[in-house]
Amino acid sequence: MSRAWPCLIVALATLSAAAAPPPLRPAAVDGDWTMPAHDYASTRFSPLAAIDRNNVGALKVEFTFSTGVNRGQEAAPIVVDGTMFIVAPYPNVVYALDLTRPGAPLKWKYQPHPEAAAQGVACCDVVNRGAVYADGKVVFNTLDGNTIALDAKNGKELWKTSLADIQTGESITMAPLVVKDK
């Protein structure tokens, strides 16, 4: 075997390592959960250690909340700075609950009013898979193909854009993904 092969392998390994993307890092360890699966790698893992096998049996219900929609609830809530954000299945109402107060009272709710015709277009029920938080905004998708950004503090709509056309059979049930605040 020629001496060139080992050199070529080392060179390729070096170039591959240099070109590899940086490792995905989990969300902050402060208890916030800013996207449905916790981080870009979708680990759904939290390194918080307040609950362990010694105290899990003593957990109790602190509050319950109903969206009032009797369809599949597939959206994982997100939590940022003591506020829990929940996106309901169609009609995709967004709720903000104050986790710092007893009973987690409602801070605000946003009703997007998606087109009713989207219910007949969705392939897999009228579920929604959640919102993401970035830069003070709660961003979510509606069944009729819109992506909407809300001010996380008050629920005011900041912007809305259409990404799908229900007239051609398109709908959106997935949670958006925010990368580099876009």
pLDDT of 22 > 60? The answer is no
pLDDT in tens, 69-107: 988 888 899 999 999 999 999 999 999 999 999 999 999
pLDDT in tens, 102-139: 999 999 999 999 988 888 888 878 888 899 999 999 99
Question: What average pLDDT does this structure show over 34-51?
Answer: 89
pLDDT of 19 > 50? The answer is no
- State the pairing for strand pair 137-141/146-151: antiparallel
- Domain range 30-37+73-182, its CATH number among 1.10.260.40, 2.40.10.480, 2.30.110.10, 3.40.190.290: 2.40.10.480
Provide the token pair at 127. 């579920």
The per-residue b/e assignment along 125-157, b for 16 or more CB within 10 angstroms, e otherwise, is ebbbbbbbbbeebbbbbbbbbbbbbbebeebee
- Can you give the residue ranges of every domain in the chain? 30-37+73-182
Cα separation, 95 vs 152, in Å, equals 10
Cα separation, 19 vs 110, in Å, equals 43
